[in-house]
Structure 1
Amino acid sequence: MVSLQTVRKSNAHIAALPQGLVAVFIGATSGIGQSALQHFSRHASSPHIYSVARATSDASHEKLLATVRQSNPTGTYNLITADVSLVSEIDKVVKAITQTESKVDIVFMSAGFMAFEGRQNTSEGLDPSMTTRYYSRMRAVQQLLPLLNKAESPRIVSVLAGGMEGPLNESDLDLRDLPNWSFWNSSVHSATMGTLVLERFARQNPRLSIVHWFPGPVDTPGLARARRFGMSPPTQRSQEEAGERAVFLATNDRFAVQGGLVPMQEGLEAARRSGGGIYLVDPLGESTDNEGLLSGLRKRGVDEAVWGFTESVFADCAARAGAGSSKDEL
């Protein structure tokens, strides 16, 4: 277990990193992502921060960014209006970043929700709970790879369920057949497909460090929503602590394939990577393992099948966007 004291000591050293770290937050309008953005901006020296919000959340998120500007006026804080339940909107996000930045150091992805009300497809024909947790995240990574590879020590953190992957319905990966869909199945597919594709990105980009974190129950608006639908989560970690731990995962060299950010403190050891080359991390910052499942999927080429299917989804979403169907969905 990595103690909260160790996390805080590590985060305090972010101030000593080079100025101008570029961080992209997808999912920071509430919950863990919001707390991570606040803690990172508090410590970083002259950071360039990009955060994504739907049009309906612009005003409240701009208020948050205004408080962040006050706490660290040396940084630049950019709000990009986009609906990440639509894959095609991610291209708009990336375009806005590439127009002003020559590199990206950190991509932090925590957008998502559980569709307790049932599957309600977006205009792209996809389940938005899977789009926010899988398709749009993978599209962001794919499109930002050129900028990530120009950073000294690029890092990706995806907050979902690293180490909690499960079997896939390989004949219906997007669970389009309604008998195959449930809010739980969509969660398992998002996490498992996410790990397989992130591993693929890691193998093809050996300088890129990727963390897939399972934060456990955290006292966020999403958890409050789950209670309204009859779920009874166990004791939760505070959103504040989860944000601090998220920043630790995004900046400490314990989770780096090569150094370049905050050096490991005394007593810490380098985290162990999965067989596919990414860091699967438990709620308290320790490496976890799911090779019993993942190694079999890799051996059968399921990772390549998932990526091929995902590319076809991306192509279809781009075609739909070209036909003018994009709109705010959630």
Structure 2
Amino acid sequence: MVSLQIVKQSNAGIASLPHGLVVLFIGATSGIGQSALQSFARHAPSPRIYTVARPSTFASHESLLASLRQSNPTATYKLVEADVSLVSEVDKAVNRIIEEETKIDILFMSAGFMALEGRKDTSEGLDPSMSTRYYSRLRAVQLLLPLLNKAPSPRIVSVLAGGLEGPLNEQDLDLRDPNNWSSWNSSVQATTMATLMLEKIARENPRLSIVHWYPGPVDTPGLAKIQKFGMSFPNPMSQEEAGERAVFFTTSDRYAVQEGLLPVPAGLEVAKKSGGGIFLLNPQGESTDNEAVLDEMRRRGVDEVVWNFSQKVFTACNVQARESKDEL
């Protein structure tokens, strides 16, 4: 277990990092992502920070960024409007960033929710809980790979449920059949496909450090909503602590395939990677072992099946977006 004291000591060292790190936060309008954004922005020297907000949260998030500008006037903040439950919106948001930047140092993704009120498909025909937690994240990574690979020490952190992967419904990957869908099934499906795809990307981009973190119950607005459905979570982690730990995973070389940002704290070793080459972390930042589930799927080539399926989904979403635009 990495103590919170060590986490905060390491995070204070962010002030010594090179000026001008380019960071994209997807999911920072509330919860863990918001706290991670606040912690990183407090320490980083002259960063260029992009955040994404859907229309309904755009104004409130702009207010948050205004306060961050006051606390760290050396930083540049750019707010991109997009609904990340839609793949085509992710394309537009990321393409804007690609037009403005030559590299991305850090991609932080924490958007998502559990669909406890049932499945209500997006205009793209996808379960929005799976879109935010899987499809949109993979699409953002895929499009940003050229810029990530131009960074000296590129990092990706995905906050979901790394280490809790389970058997996939391989015959119905998007759980289109109502008999296959449930809020729990969609969570397991999104987590498992996300890990398989992040591992595939890590193998093909060996300089890229990728963390898939399971934070456990965290005292966020999302947890409060879940509790209204009768679920109980004793002693959840505070949102502030989760944000600090998330930034630690984002910047410490303990979770890197090569040195480049903050040194591994004294007394700790570089974390162990999964068999597929990424860091699957428990709430306290220790590596988890889920090879009993993942190794069998890798050997059967399930990762390639999921990749090909996801590419077809992305193509369909963008074809639909173009057709809708042409109709206007």
TM-score bracket, normalised by the shorter chain, equals over 0.9
In 2, Cα distance between the equivalents of 1:52 and 1:276?
A: 29
Residue 32 (str. 1) matches residue 32 (str. 2): yes
Residue 109 (str. 1) matches residue 109 (str. 2): yes
Query: How large is the RMSD of aligned CA atoms in angstroms?
Result: 0.9
Q: Paired residue for 2:173?
A: 173
Task: Report the secondary structure of 2:2's partner residue.
Answer: coil
Q: Paired residue for 2:3?
A: 3
Q: Paired residue for 2:256?
A: 256
Residue 22 (str. 1) matches residue 22 (str. 2): yes
Q: Paired residue for 2:295?
A: 295
Task: Report the secondary structure of 2:100's partner residue.
Answer: coil
Q: Paired residue for 1:81?
A: 81
Tell me by how many angstroms 1:98 deviates: 1.2
Q: Paired residue for 1:59?
A: 59
Superposed, 1:157-306 pairs within 5 Å as 157-306=157-306
Q: Paired residue for 1:128?
A: 128
Cα offsets for 1:127-178 (capped at 9, x unmatched): 0000000000000000000000000000000000000001111000000000
Tell me by how many angstroms 1:231 deviates: 1.0
Q: Name the TM-score, length of structure 2 as normaliser.
A: 0.98
In 2, Cα distance between the equivalents of 1:70 and 1:288?
A: 39
User: What percent of counterpart residues are identical?
Assistant: 69
Q: Name the TM-score, length of structure 1 as normaliser.
A: 0.98
In 2, Cα distance between the equivalents of 1:194 and 1:325?
A: 30
Tell me by how many angstroms 1:234 deviates: 2.6
Q: Paired residue for 2:49?
A: 49
In 1, Cα distance between the equivalents of 2:245 and 2:4?
A: 8
Contact 1:165 1:191 in 2 (8 A): yes
Q: Paired residue for 1:13?
A: 13
Q: Which runs of 5+ in 2 are unaligned?
A: none
Runs of 4+ in 1 over 4 A off after TM superposition: none
In 2, Cα distance between the equivalents of 1:108 and 1:188?
A: 21
In 1, Cα distance between the equivalents of 2:222 and 2:266?
A: 36
Contact 1:123 1:325 in 2 (8 A): no
Question: How many residues end up aligned between the 2 structures?
Answer: 326
